[in-house]
Structure 1
Amino acid sequence: MENNWKYPKQVKKMKFTEEHQDKVFYGLNNLNKRKNKSRKLLYSSVAAIFIILFSFELFVPYMSNVFANIPLISHFIKEEEQNREEMEKILELVVPIVERNGTDLKDLNIMTETKEVSVKLKGYSGDYEDIAQNIEEHLGNNGFQEYTVKAIRYEKEESQSKISPEESKEWKQNMEDAKKLKNTLKKRLKEKRYELLFPVSVRINDTEGVFVNVTVPESETRIKQLKDILKKEAKSYEDKVKLDVRQVQKIAREQEKRWEKTNAISHIGRALMEAEHLPVIGFAYSFHPYPLQIKIKTSLDANDSDASEIADEIRSEINVFIQSNEKNKSIREDKYRIIVLSKDKNEID
């Protein structure tokens, strides 16, 4: 997933990274969803992770009547872009004031819906109300009169676990060994002409010993030889070896990579979860097996008179977004399945 955030030079050190290779799944059973249109941006020295609940009607692309609906998801994306631009401008205005006061900005929490800015400062010896007022006035002079600012002292959170120097040294050694083993396996498997559909994954620790995960096409027949190579190389580090060799459909992985480039799954999930008029409380997806499966949990009773109509609206919003958004050209011909579920996890037709 491409990171589209543009940061001022003076705050690049605060830039977040976004991990997208690993899917983030919420349990659908006990999810207590809250509708909240407030957009929050938290700048911190610790990386932030946006957690969205992600993971069937078979959909084959069609164009008739698909543009008759309002593109809710595309509107959501545009709104997020506008909020992001606003947040970045506010950040650019706050940083110089903090620097002039000789303090360190550790966290900046911007809430565009409630128009609040929370500034956490480290090493500031002055009056917090004064610097908050200075920032608020500066924002007001630059077009952000509606924002209120609160400045507070940054308190370093206590670490829940104490790591001894010996444990830290062992952890670093395990990380180095895992990296070496990963590179060795990549080289060996390339020599043997194995096609890897996902990057080789290696972990080394006291609990598992050496854990190796490799994913190859379902058409691959040399699985025993593959495991022998993995085990032989892994045992040069630890006697205890755990292998996880998976086979998946190549067509499914190819579809997954196309969708990852568009960020469509993330947009769909976030937009539906935040839409106040839609009773969506859970969202999951899976590319394996082919085709893509999208599962949406709602708070609806399957016997409600309007349940089918609302389910159709949800399906339509997804279809309209995929077919109409400019960035989705590469996935418009893809097949995918949508299931809208009731609160009891029964499919709503």
Structure 2
Amino acid sequence: MKKVLTGFVVLLLIITASNMILKKSSNKTASVNTEAIESTLVKSMEETKAEKKKLEQFLTKSAKELNDNGFKVGLGFSHEERNVTVQVQNKAFLEANKTNIEKIIHNMANMIGFQNYTVDFLVLDNYPALSEEDEKQRETMMEVIEEISALLKERGNPSISISTNSNNEILIEMQGMKEDFGKSKEIEDLEKIIDQTILSKTDLEYTVKIQKKSESAIRDQQWQPILSAISEETNKRFKEYRGFAYSFHPEPLQIIIKTNIPSSKWFGNSDKKINQITEYVDKIIELKREELSIEEIPYEIIIRDKNDREIKQ
């Protein structure tokens, strides 16, 4: 009996030691994986920044070159499809100038080193045109908003948003205002100055409302670079990626990654891929928050399959 007991104790010690070794090995592997993900991401995000700078140069110089050659067009770009959209006046203009416009765009891309893109055209005469009176009013309001922005920037309020609504109100939101700022004489004087600015530019009657930017609006704005990075970097890393969405309401923040992963978990190695995507998105958020010094908020990552159903882990 003693020999049997001794043998059992030795076996138990061996199993315990083996489990400890496996646990240490697992922790070491997890640490190595985390470091590898971080290293890959840091490099990828630096490449993304360089690519964005190159894209900005490409669009700016292409627009100038097109304008200098007499082509009054608009340029847009879709990051996920890497598609340049050229907005033209009408079909007749497109038929007469398409080849020359494409040539200018391709030459500029080659000069800057911008690659892997396609060019599409959007004909604007498919959309209802504004009346002459409406167009004049739109241009006037754009001038007024620019004047207000410059005025507020001079007074030390560069972080603002300006909008109008159907009630003939100009709504101005400022970030960093004191809690009682909305009731102060300073705000009343500022509203009067803005009223005078509007009257000097137009005979339209607007009510100016200045308010503190809400905490939720500030948070949403701060998180936009992080959300953009999630979309960009996940698209670059995973061929299964097909789209991105998010929602701050209701809380916590929902980060939705759309994939072409089949619905059935028994097909292929979907569990492993879901874990990889989730871990990658977590690391993107961590790195971008540190870079931008943004406070952490609760969030959840939702992975959807090719049928847009949430994949439960």
- TM-score, normalising length from structure 1? 0.42
Which protein has the larger Cα radius of gyration, Structure 1 or Structure 2?
Answer: 2
